[in-house]
Amino acid sequence: MIISPCIKGSSRKGGLLTTGIHGEIDKQRPLSTKPRLDKRGSLPRRSNPLLSAGPPARAGVSPQALTGFSIAILAMSTYCGYLYTSYQRDVEQSRYLQVPEDVSDRFNQIARSYDSAVDLGERLMRLGRRRKQLVRMARGDILEVSCGTGRNMKYYQLGERRGVDEKGKANVHGCRSLTFVDLSPDMIDIARKKFETLYPNFRKVSFIAQDAREVGPSFYLKGKSAPAKPIVLQSASNTVSWTTSQPYFDTILETMGLCSTPDPVGLLRHLELITEPERGQILLLEHGRSHYDWLNNILDNLAAAHADRYGCWWNRDIGKIVEESGLEIVEIKRWHLGTTWRVILRPNSHRQERDERVSK
C-alpha cells in the first residue's frame, strides 16, 4: 500500500505502525505497544513524549524581533530628530538671508552636479513619465527654453510626420527642428553633449546660451534695452543660427523653469509673441505651491535658503503666474500634493492686444 509521498520510506520504531522501504506496512514484525528502554533503562529521547514534544510554544514576541524593532525605532527617531534639527536650522537661516529675486546665476556653479542632485528625487516622484508625456505633445519647430542639462532630451521624437489632429484637420507630428535655449552656458553645454550622443545624425538643432526673454526676431524686442548677444554653441553636427530669422515656433516647451527666472510673467508674455498664433502651443511642467497650507508653510519657511543654494524659488504660485500672463489656458493638471503642475497654454486669441504689445 502506498501511503503518501511525504512519508514514503519512513518508520517509527517502537510506535504503532512501521512502513517498509516503499511505504508498505511491515506485516512480518508484530506491532508492539511496549516502549523499548535503552541500556540505562530509560526511555530513548525520541520515544519520551515529554522530550520529543520540544520546548513549549512561547506566547509573545521573540527577543531577536524585539531587539530589531527597538533598533529600527531608535534609527527612525534619530533620523526624524536630524530632519527636524536641519529644518529648524534652515528656517532660521532663511529668515535672515538676503537673497535676490534673480538667482539664475547659481546654475553655472551647480551645472556639473545638477543631474546627480535631482536624479533620485525625480525617480521617486516618477517625473520621467510626466516629462515624456509633455515632450510627446511637442510638434513642428520646437523651442525648449530653460532647457538646463537637457533632461527632456531622450523623449523627443525627431523627424516630422504629417497627419490629422483630433478634429480631422491636417497636422504635423514630431519635431521638424529643435532650438534649445538656456541662460547658463555651462548647463546648456551639457545638454548639447547629451543630444549629440543620442542623435548624432540630426542636423536641425541649435543650442543658444541666452535669456529666454530675448529669443526671437529683434522686432519683438522693440522698446527694450538691447539684448545681450546670444552665445550660439558650435558643434560639428549642428546647423546653427538658422532659427534666428523665423518669427514663430509651433511649440514652446519649458520644464522646471518658472521657478528659476526673475520675471516668470514677463517670460510667458514674451513666449506668447514667438508662438505660432493659430495653432501654436506652450507646454509647461513646473513645480510650485501645493494644494495644502501646511506644505506651503514649509516651502515658504525654507524658500530663501533653497533659492540661495539651488537657484530656484520653489514656493511660486504657478496658477497665479499663468493667469497674470494673459495667455489662454487649455489645461492645468497637478500631482504630488499639487506641487507639480502641467500647464498647456495657447497664444491669446485677442490678437489686437498682442499686436499692440509688439508695437509698444
Of positions 135, 143, 256, 327, contacts ligand SAM by CB under 6 A: 256
Name the residue nearer to ligand SAM (CB basis): 261 or 281: 261
Name the residue nearer to ligand SAM (CB basis): 248 or 313: 313
Q: Which stretch binds ligand SAM (CB under 6 A): 62-70, 177-185, 194-202, 241-249?
A: 177-185
Name the residue nearer to ligand SAM (CB basis): 18 or 305: 305
CB atoms within 10 A of CB 170: 8
Q: Do residues 205 and 170 make contact, with C-beta atoms less than 8 angstroms apart?
A: no
Instruction: Give DSSP secondary structure letters for 253-321.
Output: EEES-TTTSS-HHHHHHHHHHTB-TTT-EEEEEEE---S-HHHHHHHHHHHHHHHHHHS--TT--HHHH
Residues 30-62 as b/e (b if ≥16 CB within 10 A, e otherwise) read eeeeeeeeeeeeebeeebeeeeeeeeeeeeeee
Size of the site for ligand SAM (CB under 6 A): 21
State the virtual CA torsion across 87, 91, 93, 96 in degrees, nearest 10.
Answer: 180
Q: List all residues 6 or more positions away from 242 whose beta carbon is below 8 Å from its beta carbon.
A: 177, 204, 206
Of positions 138, 142, 175, 187, contacts ligand SAM by CB under 6 A: 187
Longest dimension (CA), the chain: 115
* 318 lines the binding site for ligand SAM (CB under 6 A): no
> Residues 82 to 101: which contact ligand SAM by CB under 6 A?
none
Name the residue nearer to ligand SAM (CB basis): 18 or 178: 178
> Residues 101 to 160: which contact ligand SAM by CB under 6 A?
104, 107, 145-148, 151
Q: List all residues 6 or more positions away from 41 whose beta carbon is below 8 Å from its beta carbon.
A: none
Taking the C-alpha atoms of residue 266 and residue 258, their distance in angstroms, rounded to an integer, is 10
Among 313, 309, 315, 277, residue whose Cα is nearest residue 293? 315
CA 80 to chain centre: 24
Of positions 19, 206, 261, 340, contacts ligand SAM by CB under 6 A: 261
Name the residue nearer to ligand SAM (CB basis): 108 or 348: 108
Among 62, 274, 49, residue whose Cα is nearest residue 181? 274
* 343 lines the binding site for ligand SAM (CB under 6 A): no
Name the residue nearer to ligand SAM (CB basis): 251 or 255: 255
Name the residue nearer to ligand SAM (CB basis): 19 or 303: 303
Strand 251-255 to 205-209 pairing: unpaired
CA 147 to chain centre: 15
Taking the C-alpha atoms of residue 162 and residue 321, their distance in angstroms, rounded to an integer, is 34
Shortest Cβ distance from residue 69 to ligand SAM (Å)?
41
Shortest Cβ distance from residue 359 to ligand SAM (Å)?
24
* 184 lines the binding site for ligand SAM (CB under 6 A): yes
Map residues 294-313 to x or -, x wherever contact with ligand SAM holds by CB under 6 A: ------------------x-
For residue 224, the 8-state DSSP code is S
> Residues 192 to 251: which contact ligand SAM by CB under 6 A?
211-213
Shortest Cβ distance from residue 277 to ligand SAM (Å)?
23
Residue number with the smallest Cβ distance to ligand SAM: 148
Name the residue nearer to ligand SAM (CB basis): 19 or 207: 207
Q: Which residues bind ligand SAM (CB under 6 A)?
A: 104, 107, 145-148, 151, 181-184, 187, 211-213, 255-257, 260-261, 312
